[in-house]
Amino acid sequence: METFSEVFLNRVSSWGLAILGAVVIILASWLYYPGSRSAYPLPPGPKGSFIIGNILQVPLERSDAQFAEWAREYNSDIIYLNLLGQPVIVLNSLKPAVDLLDKRGVIYSDRPPFPLLEALGFRSNVALIGDGTQYRKIRKAYGNFLSASSSLAYRDMQLRHAHTMASEIATSPEKWQSCLSQFATRVLFGLAFAIDVVDENDPYFKLANEMGWVLSNMGNPGFTVLDLAPWLGNVPRWIGNLIPSVKYANDHNPVIEEFHQRPFDAVMQGHKAGIMKPSFLGRLLEAREARREDEDVTKFFTDTEIRGAGGSLYSAGQDTTYSTETIFVMAMVLAPDVQKRAQKEIDMITGGTRLPSFDDWKALSVVERMVYETLRFHPAVSSGIPHRTLKEDVYRGMCIPKANAWAMLHDPNVYKDPFTFNPERFLPVSEGGGGEPIPIGQFGFGRRVCPGQYFGFSSVWIAIATILAKFDIVPVKDKDGRDIMPKLEFTSGITRYDFA
C-alpha cells in the first residue's frame, strides 16, 4: 500500500480586524428590536462597554471556544452579546436550535444584509438573499435537482472523479492537497455547469481556488467591520483601503465577479449552439426556454438569478467538501488505529483487489461513521450564515436566540471526550459503542438547511472510502525522523481549512 504523507496545509494568514469569531456553522438570528421595550429579559452574557458593547471581548480567532467558555461561565446554553449596538444571541446546545430554527422556521428563515459579501460580488448568492419569492423559487429548483433520489444519478460522476483523485495522489503524493481540491472542484463544476476541469493548471481550477481562498479568509459573515458599520462601504476608495474589510472587498471583487460570469458564459454558449450537456444551469435555461407565453414570467429565472444560483451551488459545495477532506486527513494522522480499522473493513469487502463503490456503502459501516465523526470533529463551515427573525420571539422566557453549531457538536453533555476522533461513539451501547447521537446541524437547520446535503455527503463518503482503500495516511517526519503531528488550527472565514 502506498504512503500518503504531508498532512499539513501551508498556513494561510488571517487579516485581523474584520474577523470577529470563527464559529462552525453559526446559524444566527440578528435581532432588530429595542431590547429595553421587551417584557422578557435577554439571556445572560458578559457585560460590555458603553456603545461598543462586547466587540472587544470577542477574540479575532477561535471565538467559537470563547462562546463555549461563556456558556459554561454563565451556566446557560444561550448567551447574549452586543456588538456595536447589534444584539447577538448564541446557542450552545442542540435543543434550542431545533426548537427555534426547525420548529419555528417560519419566522427564523430570513437573512440580514451582508455588506461585505455583497461588496465582494455575492449579491445574487442564494444563501444570502432574504426569505421571499425569489428565494423560494430558487430553493425549489435546488430541491428538485438535489433531492435524495435525484442525487443518485450523479454517483457515477463522483466515483469517476474519486478514481482520478486516487491516481493523481499516487503519482504525486506531495500534491495531495491539490488532488483533494481538484476532486471537489470537478464534482461541483460537473454538477453545476457540466464543465470538465482537466488538472491543477486548468483556468477554472485556478479561478475556483482563488474564490475559495476569499471565502475562507474573509471572517465571519455579519461580524466583519464592514458588516457592523455598512456606511464604510460608501467612503472614497482611498479611505476604504485603510479599513481591512473594505480593502478586502475592493481587492477581491474582480475574482468573485469573474467566477460567477465565466462558467455562465460557457453554459450559455453551449445552450445557443445546441451542444449543452446536462447541468443545473442548463436545466434552468431549458425551463426558461420552454416557458409558455401565458405563464407568469416571474416563475422563471433571469440571467442574474441563474448566475447567482450556479455560483451558490458551487461555492457552497466545493469548499466544504475540500475542507472536510483535509480535516479527515488530519484526523487519520491523529487516530491511526481508527484508520486501520476502516481499512480492514474495506479490505474484507473488496478483497483488496478493487476500490470501493457506492454499492459497498451499506457494508462499510465503519467508513460511514467516520464521515459523521469528521463532520462532528471539526465541521467544515466555520461561520455559517446568520438568520434574521421576522418578528420578536420568546423562548424559555428569553428573547430570540440564535445558534452556535461548534458548541453543539462539541457539547460534553452529549459527546464524551468531544475532542477525540472516535467514530465508534455512534455505535449502540449493545454493540460496544458509546450510543451517542449522529450529529445534525452541520448542513444547517430549518428552511435554510443545505439543499445539497445528500450530494455533499456522498461526495465526502466516496472520497474517504477511496483514500482509505488506496493509501496509508501518516505524519511527516522531521530531519531526525520523528513524527510531526498536526495542530488543530484553521483559517477564519465561511469555510475553514486546517493550516498547521
Binding residues for heme: 450
- For residue 273, give the C-alpha cell: 449552439
Q: Give the pairing of strands 387-388 and 29-30.
A: parallel
Please give the annotated binding residues, written as ranges: 450
**Cα-based angle 25, 30, 32 (whole degrees, multiple of 5):** 175
**Cα-based angle 57, 115, 141 (whole degrees, multiple of 5):** 115
For 5, 14, 174, the CA distances from 476, given in Å and listed in that order, are 6, 25, 11
- For residue 31, give the C-alpha cell: 435581532
Q: CB neighbours (10 Å) of residue 301?
A: 20
Question: Within 13 Å of residue 276, how many CA atoms lie on the same side as its CB?
Answer: 23
Q: 417 — alpha (psi -120 to 50), left (phi > 0) or beta?
A: left
Question: Which parts of 397-499 fold into alpha helices (H)?
Answer: 405-409, 453-470
Environment class of residue 449 by beta-carbon count within 10 Å: exposed (0-12), middle (13-18) or buried (19+)? middle
Which residues contact residue 133 at a Cβ distance below 8 angstroms, ignoring those fewer than 6 apart?
298
Which residues contact residue 482 at a Cβ distance below 8 angstroms, ignoring those fewer than 6 apart?
none
Question: Among 464, 445, 12, 459, which Cα is nearest to 215's?
Answer: 12
Q: CB neighbours (10 Å) of residue 487?
A: 12
Question: What secondary structure does DSSP assign to 256-281, as a single string?
Answer: HHHHHHHHHHHHHHHHHHT-PPS-HH
Q: Give the pairing of strands 387-388 and 394-395.
A: unpaired
Is the distance from CB of 63 to CB of 20 less than 8 angstroms? yes
Q: CB neighbours (10 Å) of residue 415?
A: 22
